[in-house]
Amino acid sequence: MRAAFMPPDMQFDPVIQDPHMVVQCPAAPDIFWSQHHNGIFRSADNLNSWQEITTAPVSSFGFAVAVHPKNPDVAWFVPAKKDEDRIPVDGKIVVTRTQDGGKTFDQLRGGLPQENAFDLIYRHGLAIDDSGERLAMGSTTGSLWVSENGGEDWTLLSAHLPPIYAVRFVA
**Is the residue at 1 inside a domain?**
no
From the list 131, 130, 58, the residue with the least C-alpha distance to 98 is 58
Domain that holds residue 81: 8-158
Number of domains in the chain: 1
**Is the residue at 166 inside a domain?**
no
According to the model, what pLDDT value does residue 94 have? 96
**Is the residue at 164 inside a domain?**
no
CA distances from 79 to 33, 129, 170 (A): 15, 21, 26
| pLDDT per position as a tens digit, 3-23 | 888 889 988 888 888 888 899
pTM, two decimal places:
0.91
| pLDDT per position as a tens digit, 48-68 | 999 999 889 888 888 899 999
Question: In which residue ranges of the chain is pLDDT below 50?
Answer: none
**Is the residue at 23 inside a domain?**
yes
